[in-house]
Amino acid sequence: MLNQISGGVCAAKGFRAAGVRCGVKSGMSLGDGNQPIVPSMKDYLSGKFDLAMILSDCECAAAAVYTMNRVKAAPLYVTMGNLEDGVCRGIVANSGNANACAPNGHENAERMCAAAAGATGLKPTDFVVASTGVIGQELNIAAIEKGMGPLVEQLSTDGSDAAANAVMTTDTKKKEIAVTLTIGGKTVTVGGIAKGSGMIHPNMGTMLCFITTDCAIAHDLLQDALHEIVPRTFNRVTVDGDTSTNDMCVVLANGMAGNPLIEWKDDGYTLFCQALYQVCEHLARSIAADGEGASRLITCTVRDARSEESAERLAKAVVGSSLVKAALYGADANWGRVICAMGYSKAPFRPEYVDISFASALGEIKVCEKGVGLPFDEDFAKRVLTQDAVTIDVSVHEGDESATCWGCDLTYDYVKINGDYRS
């Protein structure tokens, strides 16, 4: 049985986290002539946090997935190298600058790891490094290096909230969850934080997602679990059709729960995967609901499909359609846009078999049956679609498989946010 608890990435035994404001974007830590000045601790803890750390008390098995964008940010390459041996101690991440396609990108990513190592007494290769923010501008590494000491000083078992806030960019809400379960008679905890609001159309994970667990599990099985679950959670989210250069999802498992080591795909592995799935699904939905400028979460479930793959293609085409997204913003039950998006998804289905309904907390209204429109109460439909969360339910009546994807509506604010993102 899974139980949701508080604590995020610090809920599992042996993990601490922190977030501070070091001035990545503003240059707070640079004085005249680029000479570093020493801010007070009050300065580091005031304003928008932009530097985060998650640290385990002992070595962890580590697994990760990365963006499939051909353009990858420097931190991803450094992290790939650091995780070649499958172990890790912590994560250091900044917001305000993506360190992607930027001058001295690789060197600055390595300097972040070195700074984290220097402040903790560990090795640079003990750290995952991640960045998010503006592409193409040189990272203010001097600010990060000055802020690393104060960051480590703030590490605590209550630090998940600060770390979650430190990796936010255009996010309006923190994304955080933790769950517990029993494996081998021991209480095991899985917790996570994520950031993501725009440039979301993942082909691996989300913009940044960090998951911690005290489960004892072999590295190869941890990697298998992540690769099984990411396609059914994060890869089913779309906000705007853009896959970021910095996408990364990392899981650290330190084994401190004391459960028998999971070395086979047995009952313990199945239970762990259920917990990891719940964490990833919650974070994926949170990202979709907090899409840039969004006013409502859109969920599309396609049922009775020939295969899970075709159901996913159909559902993702629907939640990714700009016209569907715009119709939902206007609370317009324009189901024609739904079936149109299905038609260009490249998934096989017979339009003459399709049923479509819209639903929310106020109720459900069927608008299409066997590919033909039904008469419906427009006023009731509008009330249904004005809720914060709306579901588009589709049945294609061709099989037994289903898939659910998540997105958000398209509002004027999306254009406003992205029209002046660099400023």
Domains belonging to the chain, first-starting first, are 3-289 (3.60.70.12), 297-419 (3.10.20.340)
Confidence of residue 37 (pLDDT cuts 50, 70, 90): very low
Q: Which of 243, 153, 245, 249 is nearest to 192 (CA)?
A: 249
Average pLDDT, the chain: 91
Q: Which residue did the predictor score with more confidence, 364 or 26?
A: 364
DSSP 8-state secondary structure symbol assigned to residue 29:
T
pLDDT score recorded for residue 36: 44
Give the model confidence (pLDDT) of 7-28 as tens digits: 999 999 999 999 999 999 765 4
Q: Which of 34-43, 125-134, 168-177, 282-291 has the lowest mean pLDDT?
A: 34-43
Q: Residue 251 and residue 263: Cα distance in Å, rounded?
A: 17
How many Cα atoms are found within 13 Å in the side-chain-facing hemisphere of 26?
A: 12
Q: What is the DSSP string of 8-29?
A: GGGSSTTEEEEEE---TTT-TT
Q: Is residue 330 helix, strand or coil? A: coil
Q: What is the CA radius of gyration of the chain?
A: 22
Query: Span 290-294, mean pLDDT?
Result: 75
Burial string for 90-124 (b: 16+ CB within 10 Å, else e) reads: bbbbbbbbbbbebeebeebbbbbbbbbbebbebeb
Confidence of residue 29 (pLDDT cuts 50, 70, 90): very low
176 neighbors 159 (Cβ within 8 angstroms): no
Q: Residue 409 and residue 328: Cα distance in Å, rounded?
A: 6
Confidence of residue 411 (pLDDT cuts 50, 70, 90): confident
Give the model confidence (pLDDT) of 43-70 as tens digits: 777 778 999 999 999 999 999 999 888 8
Confidence of residue 153 (pLDDT cuts 50, 70, 90): very high
Match 């990833």 to its residue by tokens: 280
Beta strands in 153-253 (DSSP E): 175-183, 186-195, 208-213, 248-253
Q: Is residue 353 helix, strand or coil? A: helix
Q: Is residue 256 helix, strand or coil? A: coil
pLDDT score recorded for residue 305: 98
5 neighbors 11 (Cβ within 8 angstroms): yes
How many Cα atoms are found within 13 Å in the side-chain-facing hemisphere of 293?
A: 19
Q: Residue 250 and residue 212: Cα distance in Å, rounded?
A: 8
Q: Is residue 419 helix, strand or coil? A: helix
Q: Residue 394 and residue 191: Cα distance in Å, rounded?
A: 32
Q: Is residue 16 helix, strand or coil? A: strand
209 neighbors 249 (Cβ within 8 angstroms): yes
Confidence of residue 252 (pLDDT cuts 50, 70, 90): very high
List, in sequence order, the alpha helices (H) in 256-373.
Answer: 267-289, 308-320, 322-329, 335-343
pLDDT score recorded for residue 198: 64
Q: Which residue did the predictor score with more confidence, 421 or 215?
A: 215
- Residues tagged active-site: 206
Q: Residue 47 and residue 41: Cα distance in Å, rounded?
A: 12
Confidence of residue 32 (pLDDT cuts 50, 70, 90): very low
pLDDT score recorded for residue 31: 40
Q: Which of 153-167, 189-203, 312-326, 400-414 has the lowest mean pLDDT?
A: 189-203
pLDDT score recorded for residue 34: 46
Confidence of residue 416 (pLDDT cuts 50, 70, 90): confident
Sign of torsion, CA 131 134 135 136?
negative
User: Token pair for residue 198?
Assistant: 């725009």
222 neighbors 211 (Cβ within 8 angstroms): no
Asked if residue 243 has pLDDT above 90, the reply is: no
pLDDT score recorded for residue 30: 40
pLDDT score recorded for residue 33: 41
Query: Span 356-363, mean pLDDT?
Result: 98
For residue 51, list its beta bridge partners.
20, 94
Asked if residue 207 has pLDDT above 90, the reply is: no
398, containing H or E segment: none
Asked if residue 199 has pLDDT above 70, the reply is: no
